[in-house]
Amino acid sequence: MSEQNKLPAPEPALLNKTKKSNLILVFGILSVLFSIIPLAGIVFAVLAICLFVKNRSGMKAEIGKTLAMIGIVISIIASAVELLFFPLNNPPSWLSAIRSDFLVSSFWIDFENNFISEKRYMYILKGLGVTFEVTFFAVLLGIALGVVVALVRSSYDTLKEEMRGGFGKGLLWFFNKLCGVYLTVIRGTPVVVQLMIIYFVIFASSNNKILVAVLAFGINSGAYVAEIIRGGIMSIDKGQFEAGRSLGFGYVRTMAFIIIPQAFKAVLPALANEFIVLIKETSVSGYVGLQELTKGGDIIRSRTYSAFMPLIAVAIIYLVIVMFFSWLVSLLERRLKNSER
């Protein structure tokens, strides 16, 4: 093999950084997995964070560091649970006093009444599962609808001056107007009203509340996704269309292979934020009797006549979910910026 055909060997420093990033990720994962054994979880977390301080490059290192921090939090919680509730051999007097005082405190009595008695925590867990299920399928439906509507509207804006009169232009004009009505109606009415119309009017004979919620939130999200994607398509320079046509591509192939990939890259962070908004919007599903996360907390409140703990628990869970996905969006944005360099 000639020297010209040989690939240059990776630099040792780059290989070393890659190995450290992989090691940080592994330690981060282990810190979460072993967090139920607090000492082991904290040891793995400290190793991951120490390596991250010396090597900050790479998405794997960022993920590993975040997992290590999560592992530390879980390990601290696990330690507190073990010290307060697990049987211990000859515990010190100060710990015995803390345990006895905590078990008779109003906080623990209220917590036990709201979540442990009659396994009421299952309302929260089942509701969380329903929330994720509705959100996932609603996102898929919203993206599918949004792409179709965005393509129709952007195609009409691009081709209306080039297309001559006839059936094709008239059909495109009709679908563009239809999409405009869809966007106006959906974005101009509250999502909870749309949910109740679909459940009590359109699907009045159906008992599948999850399907109704998926349709309602998917149709609602599709209107916002459509404008996000259309904005991304229209932001692409017109020279890209001309470049595609100079390669012999028609309009469809130019859109499929040149325009849409660039547009999706530009709008991915906005689409991810729409997904985060959709998670919170599902909290109104209780209006049609769907037992999602918020409804689960409300059921606990109706059983215990105590509103503070179940509602605060629901709020904290939503906050943690949003913080987690916001972190993923920030990683995505950073990755896209690095790929543009």
d(CA 24, CA 22): 5
pLDDT < 70 positions in the chain: 1-17, 56-57, 161-166, 338-341
pLDDT at 339: 63
pLDDT of 161: 66
Rg over CA atoms, the chain = 27
- Give me the pLDDT at residue 162, please: 66
pLDDT at 331: 80
Contacts of 300 (CB under 8 A, 6+ apart): 114, 115, 120, 123, 124, 310
**337/341 Cα distance (integer angstroms):** 7
Tens of pLDDT, residue by residue over 8-23, are 545 555 556 678 788 8
pLDDT digits over 186-210, tens only?
A: 999 999 999 999 999 999 888 889 9
